[in-house]
């Protein structure tokens, strides 16, 4: 049984993808896991859609043009480089985590066979310390231009996971602004919230301490970096994308806030690297003394939330 006073060592990498190259980005993820293992980290978290990268091109190249040859080619390339879990694309990551006895949240662009094998989802994958994928949360509502390439997810991944003395949950990017999605995790005893972002201080600096204080939980915001130099030359329309992309498309801003909203690790921008923190579960119990959103301060007799956690599909088969 877990010791309720056992601290958790967290690794917070802020890295860039090898943009739209699944295998090379996965190799970078595995190397980062191996580096974190040298410092005996027990949990490592990666940014939204890190593998194979965030879709920066719709905003740069007229992504809303319907039936456009350029947009079709870019989407096809993106889909080709996306992660299909059923095909074993994450096996190397799972093996590295098992070897390191480390848990992980990893942001991927998922191309699941269960949903035709061609539509894409921004998914947040939790892998436990024995290398087993325990949940895949598909982003419920892609934001603005993301809807041109990502599909809306479902509630199947709105679950929490026990790790040592902590109960973990995670959401993608602006999902973290959705009160009912947060409430669904609070209701499952979440006390360590992982928010993944494509990379922006303007997102993480305000919401991270806010979510920590609202949930009386630790809140980790993990972001990536992205610069024109991260676009490989063999990417379709790479020269155009590099010319149109700002000098810094994603500046990071990864950070950790304590249950009282104070900084454990302050946001860092423009720097690629790996930082660590030890989280003390005792601080959660101290802050829950006067407010517990899903416990003594809740009124389930007045307000309740219903969550549909069925994995969505267009067909249900009844075989004899």
CATH code: domain of residue 247:
3.60.110.10
- The whole-number average pLDDT for the span 159-173 is 98
Q: How far is 152 from 173, CA to CA, in rounded Å?
A: 14
Contact 46, 109 (CB under 8 A): no
Q: 165 lies in a domain?
A: yes
**pLDDT exceeds cutoff 70 at 250:** yes
Query: Residue 28: its pLDDT value, please?
Result: 98
Question: Chain-centre distance of CA 18, in angstroms?
Answer: 17
Q: 176 lies in a domain?
A: yes
Q: 222 lies in a domain?
A: yes
**pLDDT exceeds cutoff 70 at 1:** no
**pLDDT exceeds cutoff 70 at 4:** yes
Grade residue 320 by pLDDT with cuts at 50, 70 and 90. Answer: confident
**pLDDT exceeds cutoff 80 at 93:** yes
In order of 78, 203, 311, the CA distances from 178 in angstroms are 27, 14, 20
**pLDDT exceeds cutoff 90 at 263:** yes
What would the two tokens of residue 36 be? 């974190």
Q: From the candidates 28, 42, 94, 139, which is the catalytic residue? A: 139
Q: From the candidates 42, 48, 175, 190, which is the catalytic residue? A: 48
User: Average per-residue pLDDT in the chain?
Assistant: 96
9 is catalytic: no
Q: 118 lies in a domain?
A: yes
**pLDDT exceeds cutoff 70 at 309:** yes
Query: Residue 158: its pLDDT value, please?
Result: 98
Q: Which domain holds residue 18?
A: 8-288
Q: From the candidates 94, 104, 173, 255, which is the catalytic residue? A: 173
320 is catalytic: no
- The whole-number average pLDDT for the span 7-36 is 98
Query: Residue 2: its pLDDT value, please?
Result: 58
- Number of domains present in the structure of the chain: 1
**pLDDT exceeds cutoff 90 at 201:** yes
- The whole-number average pLDDT for the span 264-276 is 97
Q: 3 lies in a domain?
A: no
Q: 2 lies in a domain?
A: no
Query: Residue 316: its pLDDT value, please?
Result: 87
Q: 102 lies in a domain?
A: yes
Contact 108, 50 (CB under 8 A): yes
Sign of CA dihedral 33, 34, 35, 38: positive
DSSP string, the chain: ---TT--EEEEEEE----TT-HHHHHHHHHHHHHHHHTTT-SEEE--TTTBT----HHHHTTTT-TT-HHHHHHHHHHHHHSB-GGGTTTHHHHHHHHHHT-EEEEEEEE--GGGTTT--EEEEEEE-TTS-EEEEEE-SS--GGGGGT-----GGG---EEETTEEEEEEEGGGGG-HHHHHHHHTTT--EEEEE-SS-HHHHHHHHHHHHHHHTSEEEEE--EE-GGGS-TTSTTHHHHHHHS-S-SEEEEEEEE-TTS-EEEEEEES--EEEEEEE-THHHHHHHTT--TTTTT--TTT-------PPP-S------
Q: Cis ω on the peptide bond leading into residue 207 (within 30° of 0)?
A: no
**pLDDT exceeds cutoff 90 at 5:** no
What is the side-by-side order of every strand in the sheet holding 103-110?
133-138, 121-127, 103-110, 43-45, 8-14, 273-279
Quick: pLDDT tens for 94-137: 999 999 999 999 999 999 999 999 999 999 999 999 999 999 99
139 is catalytic: yes
Per DSSP, what are the bridge partners of residue 121?
110
Contact 127, 133 (CB under 8 A): yes
Q: 260 lies in a domain?
A: yes
Give percent of the chain above pLDDT 70.
99
- The whole-number average pLDDT for the span 37-66 is 97
Query: Residue 237: its pLDDT value, please?
Result: 96
Question: Chain-centre distance of CA 245, in angstroms?
Answer: 23
Q: How far is 207 from 179, CA to CA, in rounded Å?
A: 12
- The whole-number average pLDDT for the span 250-256 is 98
Give percent of the chain above pLDDT 90.
96
């Amino acid at each position: 049984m877990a010791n309720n006073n056992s601290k958790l060592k967290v690794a917070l990498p802020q890295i860039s993808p090898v943009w739209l190259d699944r295998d090379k980005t996965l190799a970078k993820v595995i190397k980062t896991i191996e580096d974190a293992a040298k410092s005996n980290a027990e949990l490592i978290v990666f940014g939204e859609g890190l593998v194979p990268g965030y879709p920066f091109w719709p905003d740069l190249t007229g992504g809303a043009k319907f039936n456009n040859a350029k947009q079709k080619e870019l989407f096809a390339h993106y889909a080709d480089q996306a992660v299909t879990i059923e095909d074993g694309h994450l096996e190397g990551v799972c093996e590295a985590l098992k070897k390191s006895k480390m848990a992980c949240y990893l942001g991927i662009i998922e191309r699941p066979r269960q949903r035709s094998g061609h539509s894409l989802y921004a998914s947040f994958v939790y892998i436990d310390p024995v290398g087993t994928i325990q949940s895949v949360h598909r982003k419920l509502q892609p934001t603005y231009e993301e809807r041109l390439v990502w599909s809306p997810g479902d509630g199947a991944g709105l679950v929490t996971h026990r790790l040592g003395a902590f109960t973990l949950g995670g959401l993608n990017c602006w999902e973290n602004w959705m009160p009912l999605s947060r409430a669904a995790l609070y209701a499952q005893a979440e006390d360590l919230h992982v928010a993944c972002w494509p990379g922006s201080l303007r997102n993480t600096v305000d919401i991270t301490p806010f979510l920590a204080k609202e949930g009386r939980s630790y809140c980790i915001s993990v972001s990536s970096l992205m610069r024109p130099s991260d676009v490989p030359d063999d990417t379709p329309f790479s020269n155009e994308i590099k010319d149109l992309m700002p000098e810094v498309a994603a500046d990071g801003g990864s950070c950790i806030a304590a249950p009282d909203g104070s900084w454990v690790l302050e946001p860092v921008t423009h720097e690629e690297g790996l930082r660590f923190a030890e989280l003390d579960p005792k601080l959660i119990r101290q802050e829950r003394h006067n407010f517990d959103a899903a416990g003594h301060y809740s009124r389930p007799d007045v307000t309740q939330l219903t969550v549909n956690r069925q994995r969505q599909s267009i067909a249900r088969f009844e075989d004899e």
